[in-house]
Structure formats: structure tokens, C-alpha cells
Amino acid sequence: MEMLGTNELGFSVARCRCDCGSESIVRAAELRSGHRRSCGCSSWKSKRQKRDAEVIGKTFSRLTVISEAGTDSSGYRLVNCECECGCKVKIRTCQMVAGDVQSCGCLQREKAMENLDKANIKAFKHGMSGTLTGQSWNCMMQRCYNPYSEIFHRYGAVGITACSFIKASPVNLAILIGNRPSQIMSLDRIENDKGYWCGGCEECLTNGRKINVRWATPSEQALNRDKKRFVEIDGVTKRASEWCEILNLPKGSKLIYTYPKANDQNL
């Protein structure tokens, strides 16, 4: 403690160092009377400990708190929770109490499926669910937004989605590039590492996107896909360039496609 004289109101003040390491200037009278015992950290710690104790056994949305789980690398308090679906997860107490996290992830997946069902119903109302254009649009929605789709990991999971205009309805897709010309044509992205964009909606204009969809023949699709190939080895799918680096092969080496247990895939 270091006495500093008086403040502008005439009160004697002192500079004090708290047990937590922080310094603060307080009235000497408050120190003598015992009204100030810390910089304020003791009150904050007691409130946090009380809050953490109160959440044990409680249910927040789909999560039931089982026990404390220490802290994460950022110092946030963690708790062990059991979701309604049976999964057990560790979650930050503050995120759970604030409602930012409501499940182990199952709630988000269910909402994605609901949104997809709504989109399919909307397509049906437009009378395009049985058309070639409607079928292509629905397949696009499945691979971009349905986490249960077999190829979702190569589309929606890596950020390949549709802009708001195309996503809204297959009618918009037909307005943009016309109806699907024939059975052999399919929906293709002009730039294979980007999403299905119209280039004209507010979302596309804000992000500087150009139109990135077309109807393409199988040969045109193949030429596009050759630009970025994926290879699956022992159940793990990565870009061919990544496998070449991992396996110490020259960049662009074709040996990656003959590697044992390799399964060549296209995005």
C-alpha cells in the first residue's frame, strides 16, 4: 500500500495491490473500515462459483449438465453435458447459459432437414418437382444442405452452397439459365471450387460474385472436374495435391491415382 495524499474531494487515498495482482486507488477510510477488501475480483469469483454450482443438474434446451469439466485454452469454464439424443459433450458454461449452444449439434441438423423439406414443398407448389430442371435443383440442394447426403462432405461441408436467388426456387434457376435442355445435360459450376451463384442477387453483388452455373454435357463436366481431383485412400478423402505432399510424391504426379487402396473421386 502507498499513500497518495488526497483526491479532488479531499479524501485520503492510497494505491493498493490486490492478491490477484491488479492495482487500484481506494479511499483510506474504506480500507480501515473493511468495506474494501479487494479490487472487486473476490465478488466476481464468488458469483461465478455460485453460478457454476447452480447449473449442475439443470437442463438448458436439449442439454443436461452432468458435472464441471475444468477450463479450455482460453480460460472459459467448461461443463460435461448430455444431449437429449444421448451424445455427451463438453461446452462452455457461458455459451450454454446464454443459449448460444442448445444441443450437441443434432438440433442444427434437424433444422437443416426442415429447411430442405420446406424448399422441396415450395418446388412442388411451383410444379417443377417432376421436371428435369426441378430434379437437378433438388439434387443440388441435397448435396449442399442435407448432412445425410452421401456426398455432402464434398459440397456443403466444404462451403459449396447456393446463393439466395438460386436456393429459393427451381423457377429462379430456370429464369437464370433456362430449363435443363435434355436428360444428358446436368447442372455444373463454371468454377469448380466455388458455389452455385447467380451473380445478380443482393448476396452475390455484396460478395462480388459472378454467375457460376450452367447446363453442361458429361464431357464438359469431366473437363471441369479434371481441374481439381480428389482421391480417397483408406477411407480418407483429400485433394490429389494434398496426398502428393503427404506421400512425398512430386506435385501433379499421376502415381497418386495408382496408390494402393486409392479411389479417384471428382468434386
Of 181, 176, 148, the residue nearest 162 (C-alpha): 176
Gap between the Cα atoms of 14 and 4, Å rounded: 5
Report d(CA 128, CA 130) in Å as an integer. Answer: 5
Residue 96 phi/psi, 5-degree rounding, is -70, -45
Q: Per residue of the chain (267 residues), give pLDDT as tens.
A: 667 777 767 778 877 877 766 777 777 777 777 777 776 666 555 666 666 667 888 898 899 999 988 888 888 888 899 999 889 999 888 888 888 889 988 888 888 777 776 666 665 556 677 789 989 999 999 999 999 888 898 899 889 999 999 998 888 999 999 999 999 999 999 888 899 999 999 999 999 999 999 999 887 777 666 455 677 777 777 777 777 778 888 776 767 767 665 555 544
CA–CA gap between residue 234 and residue 135 (Å, rounded)? 33
CA distance 57 to 81: 9
CA dihedral 145, 147, 149, 155 (to 10 degrees): 60
